[in-house]
């Protein structure tokens, strides 16, 4: 079963979108986006922040955040 981070990374790469493009559009630093893609949850201090990033990132890619 794929994780949320793997799904986001896979879809982004298939679309040919660079992390820097996502960073500019959703105003979240690439280091945080990369941590989500790598499922590095210890990088974050709050679960709410993780949830918000995943929702915004999913919306940007046109994916269902659920």
Helices (H), the chain: 4-14, 19-26, 30-37, 47-61
Summarised one tens digit per residue, pLDDT across range 51-63 is 999 999 999 999 9
CA gap 46, 25 in Å, rounded: 22
The pLDDT, as a whole number, for residue 7 is 94
Q: What is the pTM of this model?
A: 0.87
Instruction: State the angle between helix axes of 19-26 and 47-61 in degrees (0 to 180), rounded to the nearest 10.
Output: 110
- Residues found in the chain: 66
- Give the other-Cβ count within 10 Å of 35's Cβ: 18
């Amino acid at each position: 079963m794929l994780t949320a981070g793997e799904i986001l990374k896979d879809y982004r790469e298939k679309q040919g979108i660079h992390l820097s493009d996502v960073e500019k559009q959703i105003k979240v630093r690439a280091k945080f986006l990369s941590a989500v893609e790598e499922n590095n949850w210890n990088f974050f201090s709050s679960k709410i922040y993780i949830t918000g990033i995943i929702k915004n990132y999913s919306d940007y890619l046109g994916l269902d955040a659920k």
